[in-house]
Amino acid sequence: MAPIFPEEENEEETKREMRPMQLDMLSEMDDAGSSMAMDVDDLEAMEILNEGGLVSDNKLADADFFNKFDDDFDDTDIN
């Protein structure tokens, strides 16, 4: 049932009432976390060996993991 409120404004008045301007007191906060990319091992050595660089499909680790689920994630999937 739609929430209803009694008519208060004059119909002849503008139907769009805007909010007063608000100052943005807080700037957007950065993503939490460290400022450096997380290196698992020696970066220079990995770059020399092209580890961690651009890779082809067949170099994906755990490529055989199970991911053959039904695609159920639309608006009709209500739990």
Q: Summarize as ranges the residues that interact with other proteins (CB under 8 A).
A: 2-5, 7, 9, 11, 15-19, 31, 33-41, 43, 46, 51-55, 59-63, 65-75, 77, 79
Q: Are 61 and 51 in contact (CB under 8 A)?
A: no
Q: Read off the amino acid at residue 24.
A: D
Task: Compare residues 25 and 61 and give the one whose CB is closer to other proteins.
Answer: 61
Task: Compare residues 26 and 66 and give the one whose CB is closer to other proteins.
Answer: 66
Task: Compare residues 39 and 48 and give the one whose CB is closer to other proteins.
Answer: 39
CB of 76 to other proteins, least distance (A): 9
Query: Which two tokens mark 20?
Result: 């007063």
Give dist(CA 56, CA 58) in Å, integer.
6
